[in-house]
Structure 1
Amino acid sequence: MNVFLKTLVFGLTIYANNISRVNAPGKDENVVIKNKVEKYQFTFGDKNAPVVVNQEDMVTYQCNDFRTSIGYAEFYDAQSAITSIKARVNGKKFGVKPVHQAYSVDGFFYSDAKVCLFELPLNEKGSESSVELSKVIYDPRYLTSIYFSEGYFTKVKQIVLVIPSWMHVDIKEMNFDKGKITKSVQRDSKNDSKIITYTAKNVKARTSEAYAPGPSYIYPHLLICSQFAETKDGKVNYFNSTDDQYAWYRSLVKMMKSGDPSVAEAAKKITAGANSPTEKAKKVLNWVQDNIRYIAFEDGIAGFKPDNAHDVLSKKYGDCKGMANLTKELLSASGLDARLCWIGTNHIAYDYSIPSLAVDNHMICAVKIDGKFHFLDGTESYIGFDQYAERIQGRQVMIEDGDHYILEHIPLRTLEQNQVIEKRQLAIKGNDIVGTVNLEYTGEAMESLLTGIHSTEKQDTEKSLTEFLSESDKKCEIKQLKTSDLKDWNQDLTINYDVKHQDAVTQFDKEMYLEIDFRKEFKNLIIDTTKRETDFIFNFKRILIHETSLELPPGYQVQNTPAPVNIDRDQYSFVSVYKSSGNQLIYTKCIKIKDTHLPISAMKQWNADLKQLTDQYNNQVTLVKK
């Protein structure tokens, strides 16, 4: 399956045929972590880094069965450094040869993070290999989340925090109800410190399930909020409040260069012909979406400082921060009130009530028109103005306001934003079913389709679209394909074509057997509840509507149709029914994903309901000669 079809199948309608495959993450039970200790100690640094955090990791891996090896990886960035690595195999020193490289995805830098990699052997059953790693974090702000779970089953995991009396830290214990964790606190009077030790035993390996909530929702962890330090040179403020967090973000924004003539010149060209602030905003958003390539390259101060707008404009690519800054600068040059915004997507469980770098992972832009903020996310390539992706809907957003900030929420959108409406007029011709099809896509449903279309070469656009519409069925022939403007995603996308389904009718004597639902959305999307460990998160709410009218052959009438389906739950609904009307067989189907969050407790009901829908899919229509 090509990349385009993968995008559509999994991103648009999730026409999955084997969900059990993604519900059973691979687990290497041959390897376990016998013991791991992570120690974090706050100490005085120097003039440039008044307080640093010294991290010491000690981990022992154990082989349960057959000889193997593991890949060890540790991340660091501009605000941290690995100072030493030691390894042992069965108690003997092992000379590691770590490889240090930039962390990248698909050939692009993912952030300014680097990764230290090396291979560690486990020579036989019962053998043990261990690693001792030292790391320094130059700014306590960057010590955020510490998780108890690892990539392997862990027999004992300890997290030790050594906090001197001059360092003020708020430790938030997150999801502790999902694990058995003990805590002890000791006083080190000699060093005037508090030693906090958390111990977890028999910790399950972290899973890698598709469509799972973000880890901050499901795994026990500590959220470390460094507030301030009392040093010999005075108080050093970190994030004692949300005001402090914004002030720090603001200081990074002030480092950028703005007002470059190239941006003003581009803005003038982009907004030419726009007669209102809204039209200007639409033109700017569309231009950024269409001309700036989004790559997750988070350059700067450990990924928090946006790139200059004129640099993004020149390079024609940027990460979310760079694209947000360019959008703001283009809007500002067009005379609009534009602001940078920080936001955490729905992958993150926190909001700005917690002052921490862990609360946000994204940056967008806001424009104020007639006293109302509209939010623009240039990384969403094909979604219209005032339409919002599921990942940011309802999320708290921090909007810059000079030396102050505004906290608002991204507007929620109903499932009606994301619709697929398909209408078919069909007839039987020999053993084939032929007719016309009219399709309409809106919102994120449209974005998923357009993302796939525009990911292909221009000369392959029609071919790829045809493959999607036919679902790569060689017996489905599509001709006279016409679409609305694929470059205008502020309007609904329409697709019209003629279709022929070859050999779709089986005839025996005076009877015909056929099916007229050629989509069968969600067929076999059965969730294996014996293996699934996390809730299921659909990528967006949606409505899928199908209306098919089949003209009956002369002298034939409907003898049998699949039983109707009428299911309505809090998270979803399936309604599908056949009825006769004169010489027409009318088939209507409406599938709604009303809530993207399907909890484990609802999965058995989902499976039962989906089986009922799938049973209808699997039954044929019978026509009989009068």
Structure 2
Amino acid sequence: MRTALNSLCLSTILCCLVPRPAHALEHMAAHPVVEHEPSNVIILEKKERFEFVRGDKQNPVWVREKTATTYRCNEFRESIPVVTFYNDYSRVEEVKAWVNGDRIKVKPEHRYYSIEDIFYADARICGFMLPFKKKDTESRTEIEKITLDPRYFTSIYFQEEYFTASKEISVVVPRWMKAEVREMHFAGAGIQSAKSYDSRQDADVYTYTAQQLKPFKSESGAPGPSYLYPHLLVSSHSANSPAGQATYFGNLQNLYAWYHRLASEVENDRDAVKATAAAIVKDNITDLDKIKAIYTWMQENIRYIAFEDGIAGFKPAKAQDVLSKKYGDCKGMANLTREMLASLGFDARLCWIGTRHIAYDYSLPTLAVDNHMICAVYLDGKTWFLDATETYIGFDQYAERIQGRQVLIENGDQYHLSRIPERTFEQNRQTEKRSLRIEGARLAGSVSHRMTGECTASLLSNVHQIRKTKLDEALEQYLSRENGQYRIANMRTSDLHDWNTDLLINYELTHNDAVSAFGDELYVEMDFRKEMEDAVIDTVNRQHDFWLPYKRQLAQETVLTLPEGFQVKSLPPALLIDQPKYAFKAEYEHKNGQVIYKKEIIIRDTRILRSDFATWNADIKKLRQSYLEQISLTKK
């Protein structure tokens, strides 16, 4: 019974532990960020040894990884999952385990990473359950892996999923191997480093030791781990193999040449996609409109699936296959976008890019520098970047995650290095105008919305996630925030399939129980939505900076016509908070028998640093207090 239970637990845990990258080129670090509470199980000691060794004719250099980990159970009987990751260019050689010094049999499960049991990656996991019989049990594991190509050996993190009392990392670089080991975020981390020479192996040995390491902590809205944790960044430059000189990534040209070769090996059939491309643009006259049409069609008709397939996630799928299946990862979608544009005679290129999740840029020649692919097209001296994985964002609008990031553009045997344009909050505008009147205990009137950029993308994404029968019904549910008292009727929208123009929504509103009457006085809350009222950041438990999803401007105006025989008794005070990174504003005005309420929220910079938390929280509390204010009306 326990065996079956452990197998079930392992299956569940393996599914939870497999990293689900936002985009298909997310490269797994040596230790993915997986958080566990450290109260019961800790790592007493962990030793990792990475050694460059001679390989075979096809792959002249391998990296052998040996890991020995000793765990201790502090409180109660426990079983924990032990997992390691590998792919087509790595393999697990051996797995051993001991409990209180006694060797135990382990039969690791090997699984593909799957999504909905349909799509798979070449990323695999090997795992088993490690038992702790009782309190103070010490269990030990030894795992040996081989990475068949040193290009894929990129980073080593010090933090583990459990509190770690002692950690030692050794990197052995024979003199026939040229590799660079960079120390990242070591300041204040208490890591000791030493370099020695092993004459027997004719190798340089880099040794790092650390004590009392807190575990990885996964937090919503946190920067990627490359910003947060001490780690080693490894770049393999070249090797003197028996077959001659092997060149890896000594510089950016080497990195680009490898990317370009993989892309060039894809057997695209341009003629197979040309008919579809021609049909998409048949009603368009200008070249720019044709490019927009291809881009929008890709967004709407090719489903983005974050999976890796082939050459450890770096080689795009064939354009004709993505078109036929109607789904693809970022590489496949970028490749199909390029091929359809090229079939129409446009100068379209593949691009490699690291999203804001990654702290590095292309000054570092390593696969750890990027995690995404898009398409660029040159037209009349201007470069247009197309990321079809962003389903609902308009042409020449860019998601926060790629804005300002370096982009590596294919250019034959050479490369072109550029940057994605930076956008301000003005790209992402959201306005709401309400014209209301009081009818007993309810507010009634008309409402109009206008949205652009990532505000449009966010709304449409949420609406499509909750859609059950009709898109209009889902949109009403979203706009009412599922409040049964907020009734929407006669809704009219612009084309919900065209996000290259402003999204417009108009409807008639009845907001029940929105007016309170006490004697001769009426009280009305003018703000229904109260955006960001719950945006206070936990300063006790949160460890990392908080990154908001995107820059934005939200503006609301509500005009309330006073009922016959009533006048304003009091209006709430104005709110004016204007910080360098954000602004919160609210004001009330009594004019010509109307009360006009205006609110504006601006996010200029999405990165709220820990040093900003106290000010941010104080300002959010002021915003929340403003939301609680009511206008007071009294009979004349």
Give me the TM-score of the superposition, normalised by structure 1.
0.95
CA gap 1:456/1:475 in 2 versus in 1, 3 angstroms = closer
Does 439-448 or 460-469 show the bigger shift? 460-469
Pairing partner for 2:481 from 471, 484, 505:
471
Alignment partner, residue 24 of structure 2: none
Which residue type is aligned with residue 319 of structure 1?
Answer: D
Which residue type is aligned with residue 416 of structure 1?
Answer: E
Alignment partner, residue 89 of structure 2: 79
State the alpha-carbon separation in 2 of the partners of residues 612 and 620 from structure 1.
15
Paired residue secondary structure (1:389)? coil
Paired residue secondary structure (1:27)? coil
Q: Check the 8 A contact 1:545/1:589 in 2, yes or no.
A: yes
Paired residue secondary structure (1:351)? coil
Paired residue secondary structure (2:273)? helix
Pairing partner for 1:249 from 252, 259, 263:
259
Shift of 1:524: 2.3
Which structure's relative contact order is higher, taking Cα pairs within 8 Å and 6+ residues apart? 1
State the alpha-carbon separation in 2 of the partners of residues 456 and 449 from structure 1.
11
Q: Check the 8 A contact 1:83/1:136 in 2, yes or no.
A: yes
Shift of 1:335: 0.8
Which residue type is aligned with residue 64 of structure 2?
Answer: N
State the Cα deviation string for residues 191-220 of structure 1 (Å, max 9, x = none).
111111101111111101000000000100
What root-mean-square deviation, in Å, do the aligned CA atoms of Structure 1 and Structure 2 show?
A: 1.2
Shift of 1:616: 1.1
Alignment partner of 1:150 is 2:152: no
Aligned positions of 1:149-548 closer than 5 A? 149-455=159-465, 459-548=469-558
State the alpha-carbon separation in 2 of the partners of residues 88 and 460 from structure 1.
57
CA gap 1:110/1:211 in 2 versus in 1, 3 angstroms = farther
Which residue type is aligned with residue 414 of structure 1?
Answer: T
Aligned residues: 602
Which residue type is aligned with residue 79 of structure 1?
Answer: Y
Pairing partner for 2:66 from 15, 38, 56:
56
State the alpha-carbon separation in 1 of the partners of residues 118 and 604 from structure 2.
36
Paired residue secondary structure (1:586)? strand
State the alpha-carbon separation in 2 of the partners of residues 537 and 108 from structure 1.
33
Alignment partner, residue 5 of structure 2: none
Alignment partner, residue 44 of structure 2: 34
State the alpha-carbon separation in 2 of the partners of residues 523 and 326 from structure 1.
43
State the alpha-carbon separation in 2 of the partners of residues 615 and 342 from structure 1.
46
Shift of 1:433: 0.8
Which residue type is aligned with residue 345 of structure 1?
Answer: T
State the alpha-carbon separation in 2 of the partners of residues 260 and 512 from structure 1.
69
Shift of 1:282: 0.4
State the alpha-carbon separation in 1 of the partners of residues 281 and 426 from structure 2.
30
Which residue type is aligned with residue 376 of structure 1?
Answer: L
Shift of 1:423: 0.2
Q: Check the 8 A contact 1:108/1:296 in 2, yes or no.
A: no
Shift of 1:622: 1.2
CA gap 1:191/1:357 in 2 versus in 1, 3 angstroms = same
Q: In percent, how many aligned pairs have the same letter?
A: 50
Pairing partner for 1:555 from 565, 571, 575:
565
CA gap 1:29/1:105 in 2 versus in 1, 3 angstroms = farther
Aligned positions of 1:566-577 closer than 5 A? 566-577=576-587
State the alpha-carbon separation in 2 of the partners of residues 463 and 64 from structure 1.
53
State the Cα deviation string for residues 273-327 of structure 1 (Å, max 9, x = none).
2212211110110111111010012111000000110010111110000000000
Q: Check the 8 A contact 1:418/1:444 in 2, yes or no.
A: yes
Structure 1 segments unaligned to the other structure (5+ residues): 1-24
Which residue type is aligned with residue 184 of structure 1?
Answer: A
Alignment partner of 1:124 is 2:134: yes
Structure 2 segments unaligned to the other structure (5+ residues): 1-34
Shift of 1:259: 3.6
State the alpha-carbon separation in 2 of the partners of residues 233 and 548 from structure 1.
76
Q: Check the 8 A contact 1:102/1:109 in 2, yes or no.
A: no
State the alpha-carbon separation in 2 of the partners of residues 177 and 64 from structure 1.
31
Alignment partner, residue 125 of structure 2: 115
Shift of 1:338: 0.2
Q: Check the 8 A contact 2:319/2:339 in 1, yes or no.
A: yes
Q: Check the 8 A contact 2:67/2:144 in 1, yes or no.
A: yes
CA gap 1:374/1:33 in 2 versus in 1, 3 angstroms = same
Q: Check the 8 A contact 1:390/1:541 in 2, yes or no.
A: yes
State the alpha-carbon separation in 2 of the partners of residues 446 and 106 from structure 1.
28
Q: Check the 8 A contact 1:271/1:334 in 2, yes or no.
A: no
Give me the TM-score of the superposition, normalised by structure 2.
0.93
Alignment partner of 1:90 is 2:96: no
Paired residue secondary structure (2:134)? coil
Paired residue secondary structure (2:470)? helix
